[in-house]
Amino acid sequence: MTPRTKSEWRSRLRAARLSMDDAARRLAADRLAAAGAGWAAQLRGGSSPGMVCAFISSGSEPGTGPLLETLFAAGHPVFVPVCEPGHGLSWTAWTPGVELARSDLAPVMEPVGPRLAFSELGAVDGILLPALAVDTAGVRLGQGGGYYDRFLAARAAHAAGGERAVPTAAVVHVGEVFPAGVLPHDVLDQPVGWLVTPDGWSPARPAAR
């Protein structure tokens, strides 16, 4: 039976992730590194690498360790999120070997270092976001914590006010991409513009009205 609610979808998707063996996880992480770095490079059209915001994977999420290392080695300044009270996010520089500490607010590891608001980062080429699933129209299903929903809503509001819209991409496993309209969503959910999986990247294509 196809899940109907966000809760049902999350339960099924989490179970599927937990069923992956270690070898499959490692292979997916290595392939994701190439795909994510390719996505970041094409945003620049071959010019010098720009800043990328990404994330440190946790638990059964697609592994981003090799991706972060590949982005950094290619010359991209890399920033990752830090959870703040009120479901906000600040951003901290990531470099190989950076000291990490467990978040007081979420089950994730975060770099120890100066925290910056997104507006303080300067020019960001693109943002790689965690997700449990995404559809081909860019509808993203997250873990339900609300941090990224609030962040994406704020970015959409800034773009509507005339700021440059920063490209966003949901990072998922290959089997976590679904046809447009399949995933549950509401009017507050903000779509992403790109899909990145171990198989590569593709632009989201809004469903025809």
180: domain range?
6-203
Supply the pLDDT for residue 188.
76
72/97 Cα distance (integer angstroms): 12
In a domain? residue 208:
no
Within 88-176, strands assigned E span 88-94, 100-102, 109-111, 124-130, 133-135, 140-141, 168-171
Residue 186 resides in a domain: yes
Question: Locate tokens 């950076």: which residue?
Answer: 98
Q: What is the mean pLDDT of residues 22-43?
A: 97
Residue 46 has pLDDT above 90, yes or no: no
Report the pLDDT value the prediction gives residue 209, as an integer from 0 to 100. Answer: 53
DSSP state letter for 116: B
**Range in 36-40, 109-113, 141-145 the model is least confident about:** 141-145
The answer to whether residue 1 is domain-embedded is no
- Mean pLDDT for the chain overall: 94
CATH code of the domain containing 91: 3.40.50.10420
Which has the closest alpha carbon to 82: 27, 120, 50? Answer: 120
Q: Is residue 209 in some structural domain? A: no
pLDDT tier at 175, thresholds 50, 70, 90: very high
Q: Does the pLDDT at position 190 exceed 60?
A: yes
**For a pLDDT cut of 90, what percent of the chain falls above it?**
84
Question: Is the pLDDT score of 94 beyond 70?
Answer: yes
The confidence score (pLDDT) of residue 123 equals: 93
Give mean pLDDT, residues 112-129: 96
Span 151-158, average pLDDT: 91
Q: From CA 143, how far away is CA 145, in angstroms rounded?
A: 6
Q: Is 57 exposed, middle or buried (0-12, 13-18, 19+ CB in 10 A)?
A: buried
81 assigned to some structural domain: yes
Q: What is the pLDDT of residue 178?
A: 97
Residue 61's nearest CA partner among 80, 44, 43 is: 80
Q: What share of the chain is helix, strand, coil (3-state, %, to 5)?
A: 30, 25, 45
Inform me whether the pLDDT recorded for 206 exceeds 90: no
Q: Is the pLDDT of residue 22 over 90?
A: yes
Total domains, the chain? 1
In a domain? residue 103:
yes
Query: What is residue 120's predicted lDDT score, i.e. its pLDDT?
Result: 96
User: pLDDT > 70: what percent of the chain?
Assistant: 98
Is 99 part of a structural domain of the chain? Answer: yes
DSSP state, 119? Answer: G
* pLDDT for residue 144: 86
What residues are paired with 94 via a beta bridge? 78
Q: Exposed, middle or buried: residue 99 (CB in 10 Å: 0-12, 13-18, 19+)?
A: exposed
